[in-house]
Amino acid sequence: MKNNILLEVRNLHISFSTYAGTVQAVRGVDFSLNVGETLAIVGESGCGKTVTVKSIVRLLPQDVAKIHGDNVGITLDGEDLLSLEEVEMSRVRGKRIAMIFQDPMTSLNPTMKIGDQIGEVLLIHKNVSKKEARLQALELLQMVNIPNAEQRIDQYPFEFSGGMLQRVMIATAIACDPEILIADEPTTALDVTIQAQIIELIKNLQRERDMGVILVTHDLGVVASMADRIHVMYAGQIVERGTADEIFYSPKHPYTLALLKSVPKLTEDKQEPLYSLIGTPPDLINPPHGCSFAPRCEFAMKICRIAEPSPTLFGGYHESCCWLHHPKANKSGVPEILLREVV
Amino acid sequence: MARFIIKRTLLGLFTLFVIITVTFFLIAGAPGDPIAAKVEQMPEKAQRVIRAKYGLDQPVFKRYIIYMKNLITTGDFGESIIYTGRSATDVIKANAPISVKINIIALLAQVIIGVFLGLVAALNMGKSVDHITRVSVVLAICIPSFVFAALLQYFVAFKWRLVPVFGWGKPAHYVLPVLAYALPGIATYAKYMRSSTLSVINEDYIVTAKAKGATQGRIVRKHILRNAMIPIVTMLGPAIAGIFGSSFVIENVFAIPGLGSYYVNAVRDNDYTMVLGLTVFFAILYVAALILVDILYGVVDPRIKVAGGED
Amino acid sequence: MVSRESFVNLSDEVFERVGVDPEFSEHLDKPSLTYWADVWRRFKQNKLAIFGLVLMVSILVMIFVGPLISGKNYKYMDSSVKNLRPNSEYWFGTDDMGRDIFTRVCYGGRISILIGFLCTIVMFVIGSTLGALAGLKGGWVDNLIMRFAEVIGNLPYLIIVVILTMVMGRSIFAIVLAMSITSWVGTCRMVRGQILQLKELDYIEAATALGADTARVIFKHLLPNALGIIMVDITMSIPGFIFGEAFLSYVGLGVRPPETSWGALASAGQQQLMFHPHVLFFPCLMIVLTTLAFHLVGDGLAEALDPKLRK
């Protein structure tokens, strides 16, 4: 498995300078992505998941966002992306690592034809003529199932629906056969029925091309069908990580459990109100002492407000950062699922 | 698109009709006898002949019908009431090209320099280029062009004797008027270009372009420029419409024999028929330019074509 | 991060259950200032805007109190003190008829600023009344008003001003009417847009469905919402009108003697530019400073109302 590592993120810290003060948006994130694997990063809005993936291709505004940390590194195939010159970095973007965004309606240039926008990425990275780029753009449009591609290619974004635009974004992203596709909340802005189609499309393309996919979302439902491994993020830190099965069937962090409980299930008893987590994520200008989830955690202990918990390993890849796993922890009333030791 | 142009043209023609009619009756109803000063000394009979010549012996409404008929059938804008034999058409032919030249040079300078400055300032937001541009822009917008003109005349022409103070004919005569006229415009375009560029820079599709691997230069050329220019194009309407006479202050200050200064003089002389003729001429150009710009707008922003047709 | 091992020997006491932080859920919302207090706080932080405000007040104080201190009459001519440079007796010097320029600048300023305010009020009253009517009534009323606005908006502003001042004489009333008659279109569109937006909101629809007076509900919500935009609009309009009047007066189409304005004073000074530049300098300076003051305040206000603009 180790030899397969395509992308590695080490001890990533990102802070933003704002008028109100320095926001510590990401506070020590580590993960790696293997070839052809789908990795999901899940968390509430504002937890730093989008910032984390944007920093991989260095899309954060350089004047306000600072990437730091001891021995911090983002390496693609052994090459440190953080030390690349801007020009070298632009050769990685779109070619080796492609990205699609949350809102397809605003992510496409309103005054540029669809075909030109897809063709642009080919013109930049592949030594092709404009004619060739157009032909390939047409193929790509057909590949992502846009009907009437011949006519659609000369239309402008405002003539497309949101779902169609997201398909266009995907076509643009896969144009250069990237090794990694980063999908930042790709379905959030779309209708529920369209969401499934888009996820299905990404899944199929990923299988066909053996791409690594990083899927960022707040919706565990989206993740269930396609992620190999899941990272749960809270307040700029990864609080739990594991395979999809481990996270869904054996969560070890109270926050993960809360996220799972707040997903509506068709089978659930209709009398019971849907679980909802109280409060909002903490202010990251002054992050709380200790565990950042403690203020919202019903099982919080004194220690949780004093010291940050360190990761506890549950075998394989499954890890959770929570004081409940300490031998002396007060376990009364804590759901059995959180405590069950997995071997 | 065709439907949009037709609709726009019809509205333009209606606007034109309103302007001409209102102007005609306003001027006809103006206090005082427009011709009194000229004919006072003449014998009674000569006075009557002259009045008949300008149709002043007819009721207002009949004069209006005659004027409109002449205008539509022969394109006759009317004749000066003060200077016998000088028609508005002659004056336009003689003076309009001068105004057009000054205005086109100034407009080109305004748009090109202004857009460039605004773009550079926005791309270097918060750096010294940006600060210097912003301060200059505020100052230049707050200084009327006639103040610039006076400063330039006093220093460049009078104190340093680099170019003539005023007059017309040689290329050197263009320098000061064009400078004084263009400066506030440059500042205005720079200001709008800066803010529209800043809002475009923050759009999601710029991030998309960057994520595609486009270099900064390519992003500016292919994605920022066109989108940031959209508000600038709307501003061009009145500017293009104004190239035939909105330089009247500058023409006046520098004694340039353009249409603008002629118009102001005609107003001061109470040359009613000339004012009417020139007004009609300005109005036609103005309305035509606005239609032109609406069409241009549709070319720059593809969203307009469809929206305009359905409205 | 602290390693797990170092905590192995923690006392049992630290593992006492505390649960959800009660303070946490109560303090979710930061203590929030009211909207206007917040706007004022942001405005105060903007040094340029404060400078503009101070400048604006100083100018107003000067033009109203100035003549009392100087003790001169703006019409009084003293042929023994023609064209004096600024000195301790005549702070801004004297003109070619021996009048005190400081006092004249103060009087001229009253007229200039009065015209600026009057035009803005007329513009605002006509614009918001028609805009509100169009937005509230909808249907054919809306259609009629908006077509009318389109026609008026297509009129060449300068020509209307010239014709009206020519027909009505160069009184302040005529100038105000002429300048504001074409200017209300923008205000009208803005107010109509705001109302249409509000009409779409669910709670307004709900209130209407329950039988509330739509107009009343909308005004109750429109005013606080639109007040900011309106204030910026007003601050930015006043210098525009002061400018407009100055241009007219500068070419001799503005206020007539013995009344005077900054534009008229500048126009008179223009003739003496070469040998007595101070006659032109002071009125021009006042125009520039006043415009600057209003622009700075307007910009500051716009930024304070919309923090996103602050870049």
pLDDT digits (tens, 9 = 90+) for A280-321: 788 888 888 889 898 888 888 888 888 889 888 888 889 999
- The answer to whether the Cβ–Cβ distance between C154 and B286 falls below 8 Å is yes
Highest mean pLDDT (candidates A102-116, B147-161, C4-18): A102-116
Alpha helices in B128-224 (DSSP H): 128-142, 145-152, 172-201, 204-211, 216-218
| CA A151, A152, A158, A164 torsion-angle sign | positive
- B70 and B170 together in one domain: no
Measured in angstroms, the CA of B299 and the nearest CA of chain A are apart by 10
Kindly state whether residue B283 falls inside one of the protein's structural domains: no
Q: With contacts defined as CB-CB under 8 Å, which chain C residues touch A328?
A: 10, 12, 15
Q: Which amino acid is at A159?
A: E
Q: Is C159 on the interface with B (CB under 8 A)?
A: yes
The residue range of the domain holding B157 is 96-268
User: What letter would DSSP give residue A287?
Assistant: P
What pLDDT, on the 0 to 100 scale, is given for residue B267?
79
Kindly state whether residue B292 falls inside one of the protein's structural domains: no
- Find the helix or strand (DSSP H, E) in which A98 lies: strand A97-100
Is the separation of the CB atoms in A275 and A258 below 8 Å? Answer: yes
- The answer to whether the Cβ–Cβ distance between A308 and C1 falls below 8 Å is yes
Nearest residue in C to A295, CA atom? C21
What pLDDT, on the 0 to 100 scale, is given for residue C28?
46
Q: Is C275 on the interface with B (CB under 8 A)?
A: no
Measured in angstroms, the CA of C5 and the nearest CA of chain A are apart by 9
Q: Which residues between 185 and 244 in chain B have a beta carbon less than 8 angstroms from any beta carbon of chain C?
A: 195, 198, 241-242
Residue C96 has, within 13 A of its CA and on its CB side, a CA count of 13
Kindly state whether residue B310 falls inside one of the protein's structural domains: no
Q: Is B143 on the interface with C (CB under 8 A)?
A: yes
Residue A2 pLDDT level (bands cut at 50, 70, 90)? very low
The partner residue sitting opposite A279, judged by closest CB among C1, C2, C28, is: C28
Cβ-based neighbours of A3, under 8 Å, separated by 6 or more: none
- What CA–CA distance (Å, rounded) separates A317 from A241? 7
- The answer to whether the Cβ–Cβ distance between A297 and C25 falls below 8 Å is no
The partner residue sitting opposite A121, judged by closest CB among B213, B227, B302, is: B213
User: Mean pLDDT over residues B37-53, rounded?
Assistant: 72
Measured in angstroms, the CA of A262 and the nearest CA of chain C are apart by 18
Going by their DSSP bridges, the two strands A38-42 and A212-217 should be labelled as parallel
User: Mean pLDDT over residues A132-155, rounded?
Assistant: 93
Q: With contacts defined as CB-CB under 8 Å, which chain A residues touch B300?
A: 111
Cβ-based neighbours of B50, under 8 Å, separated by 6 or more: B35, B38, B39, B42
Q: Which residue did the predictor score with more confidence, A179 or A19?
A: A179
Kindly state whether residue B308 falls inside one of the protein's structural domains: no
| CA C51, C55, C57, C61 torsion-angle sign | positive
- B224 and B178 together in one domain: yes
- What CA–CA distance (Å, rounded) separates B50 from B43? 11
Q: Is C65 on the interface with B (CB under 8 A)?
A: no
- The answer to whether the Cβ–Cβ distance between A90 and B214 falls below 8 Å is yes
Is the separation of the CB atoms in C266 and C246 below 8 Å? Answer: yes
By CB atoms closer than 10 A (0-12, 13-18, 19+), residue B136 is middle
Measured in angstroms, the CA of C14 and the nearest CA of chain B are apart by 47
Alpha carbon C112 to chain centroid distance?
14
Phi, psi at B274, each rounded to 5°: -65, -45
Residue-wise pLDDT tens for chain C (311 aa)? 444 455 556 777 788 888 777 665 544 444 555 777 778 888 888 888 899 999 999 999 998 888 788 777 777 777 777 777 777 777 777 777 778 888 888 888 898 999 999 999 999 899 988 988 888 887 888 888 888 887 777 666 677 777 777 777 777 888 888 888 878 888 888 888 888 877 777 777 777 777 777 777 777 766 666 777 778 888 888 888 888 888 888 877 778 777 888 888 888 887 777 778 788 888 889 999 999 999 889 888 888 877 555 43
- B127 and B45 together in one domain: no
Cβ atoms < 10 Å from Cβ of A79: 12
Going by their DSSP bridges, the two strands A180-184 and A97-100 should be labelled as parallel
Residue A223 token pair: 């993740």
Residue B49 token pair: 């002949």
DSSP per residue, C210-241: TT--HHHHHHHHHHHHHHHHHHHHHHHHHHHH
Start-to-end CA distance of chain A, whole Å, equals: 20
Dihedral, C60, C61, C67, C70 alpha carbons, nearest 10: -130
- B24 and B117 together in one domain: no
Nearest residue in C to A325, CA atom? C4
- B211 and B176 together in one domain: yes
Is the separation of the CB atoms in A178 and A211 below 8 Å? Answer: yes
Highest mean pLDDT (candidates B38-47, B222-231, B296-305): B222-231
Residue B255 token pair: 């004694």
Task: Specify which residues A74 forms β-bridges with.
Answer: A9
Q: With contacts defined as CB-CB under 8 Å, which chain B residues touch A120?
A: 209, 212, 214, 222
Is the separation of the CB atoms in B61 and B68 below 8 Å? Answer: no
Is the separation of the CB atoms in B230 and B298 below 8 Å? Answer: no
A30 pLDDT above the threshold of 70: yes
Cβ atoms < 10 Å from Cβ of C122: 18
> What are the distances in angstroms from CA B216 to CA A87, B194, B229?
9, 17, 18
What pLDDT, on the 0 to 100 scale, is given for residue A1?
43
Q: Is B213 on the interface with A (CB under 8 A)?
A: yes
- What CA–CA distance (Å, rounded) separates A33 from B48? 100
Q: With contacts defined as CB-CB under 8 Å, which chain B residues touch A92?
A: 213
Q: What is the mean pLDDT of chain A?
A: 88
Is the separation of the CB atoms in A178 and A206 below 8 Å? Answer: no
Q: With contacts defined as CB-CB under 8 Å, which chain A residues touch B205?
A: 106-110
Which one of C162, C262, C295 makes the best mutation probe of the B interface by having the most chain B beta carbons within 10 Å? Answer: C162
- The answer to whether the Cβ–Cβ distance between C24 and A303 falls below 8 Å is no
Kindly state whether residue B299 falls inside one of the protein's structural domains: no
How many domains, in total, are found in chain B?
2
- What CA–CA distance (Å, rounded) separates B157 from B172? 11
Q: Which residue did the predictor score with more confidence, C26 or A247?
A: A247
Which one of A330, A332, A334, A339 makes the best mutation probe of the C interface by having the most chain C beta carbons within 10 Å? Answer: A330
Q: Is C167 on the interface with B (CB under 8 A)?
A: yes
Alpha carbon B247 to chain centroid distance?
7
Q: Is C162 on the interface with B (CB under 8 A)?
A: yes
The partner residue sitting opposite C156, judged by closest CB among B29, B126, B286, is: B286
B307 pLDDT above the threshold of 50: no
Q: With contacts defined as CB-CB under 8 Å, which chain B residues touch C171?
A: none
Cis preceding linkage at C224, omega within 30: no
What pLDDT, on the 0 to 100 scale, is given for residue C29?
47
B38 pLDDT above the threshold of 70: no
Alpha carbon A147 to chain centroid distance?
29
Residue A189 pLDDT level (bands cut at 50, 70, 90)? confident
3-state secondary structure of A276: coil
- The answer to whether the Cβ–Cβ distance between B142 and C246 falls below 8 Å is no
- B254 and B195 together in one domain: yes
Q: Which amino acid is at B105?
A: I
Q: Is B299 on the interface with C (CB under 8 A)?
A: no
The partner residue sitting opposite C16, judged by closest CB among A297, A301, A327, is: A301
- Judged by phi (left if over 0) then psi (alpha if -120 to 50, else beta), residue B114 lies in alpha
Which one of C2, C13, C14, C27 makes the best mutation probe of the A interface by having the most chain A beta carbons within 10 Å? Answer: C14
CA angle A166, A169, A172 (to 5 degrees): 155
Burial B25-55 (b: 16+ CB within 10 A, else e): ebbbebeeebbeeebeeeeeeebeebeeebe
Instruction: Give chain B's length.
Output: 311
DSSP per residue, B234-290: HHHHHHHHGGGTTTHHHHHHTT---HHHHHHHHHHTT-HHHHHHHHHHHHHHHHHHH
- The answer to whether the Cβ–Cβ distance between A300 and C21 falls below 8 Å is yes
Q: Which residues between 251 and 290 in chain B have a beta carbon less than 8 angstroms from any beta carbon of chain C?
A: 252-253, 263-264, 267-268, 270, 275, 279, 282-283, 286-287, 290
- What CA–CA distance (Å, rounded) separates C182 from C173? 15
What pLDDT, on the 0 to 100 scale, is given for residue A232?
94
Q: With contacts defined as CB-CB under 8 Å, which chain B residues touch A180?
A: none
Alpha carbon B246 to chain centroid distance?
4
- Find the helix or strand (DSSP H, E) in which A10 lies: strand A5-17
Measured in angstroms, the CA of C274 and the nearest CA of chain B are apart by 6
Q: Which fold has domain C35-70+99-309?
A: MetI-like fold (1.10.3720)
Is the separation of the CB atoms in B118 and B197 below 8 Å? Answer: yes
Is the separation of the CB atoms in B164 and B254 below 8 Å? Answer: no
Kindly state whether residue B211 falls inside one of the protein's structural domains: yes
Cβ atoms < 10 Å from Cβ of B261: 24
- Judged by phi (left if over 0) then psi (alpha if -120 to 50, else beta), residue C252 lies in left
- What CA–CA distance (Å, rounded) separates A206 from A152? 25
- B165 and B257 together in one domain: yes
CA angle B2, B7, B8 (to 5 degrees): 100
Residue C293 has, within 13 A of its CA and on its CB side, a CA count of 17
A341 pLDDT above the threshold of 70: no
B290 pLDDT above the threshold of 80: no
Q: Which amino acid is at B201?
A: I
Residue matched to tokens 């014998």: B43
Phi, psi at C83, each rounded to 5°: 50, 40
Q: Is A306 on the interface with C (CB under 8 A)?
A: yes
What pLDDT, on the 0 to 100 scale, is given for residue C70?
75
Residue A267 pLDDT level (bands cut at 50, 70, 90)? low
What pLDDT, on the 0 to 100 scale, is given for residue A272?
66
- The answer to whether the Cβ–Cβ distance between B212 and A159 falls below 8 Å is no
- B129 and B229 together in one domain: yes
CA angle B255, B259, B265 (to 5 degrees): 65
B58 pLDDT above the threshold of 80: no
What pLDDT, on the 0 to 100 scale, is given for residue A271?
65
- The answer to whether the Cβ–Cβ distance between B208 and A159 falls below 8 Å is no
Query: Which chains sit next to A, with 3 or more Cβ pairs under 8 A?
Result: B, C
Is the separation of the CB atoms in A35 and A206 below 8 Å? Answer: no
DSSP per residue, A156-184: -GGGS-HHHHHHHHHHHHHTT--SEEEEE
Nearest residue in C to B18, CA atom? C151
What pLDDT, on the 0 to 100 scale, is given for residue A342?
55
Q: With contacts defined as CB-CB under 8 Å, which chain C residues touch B264?
A: 162, 251-253
- B207 and B68 together in one domain: no
Residue matched to tokens 């008027």: B177
Nearest residue in C to B15, CA atom? C151
User: What letter would DSSP give residue A122?
Assistant: H
Query: Is the ipTM here above 0.90?
Result: no
Nearest residue in C to A278, CA atom? C25
| CA B127, B129, B130, B136 torsion-angle sign | positive
pTM for the complete prediction? 0.81
Beta strands in chain C (DSSP E): none
Q: What is the pLDDT of residues B172-182, one digit of tens each?
A: 788 888 888 88
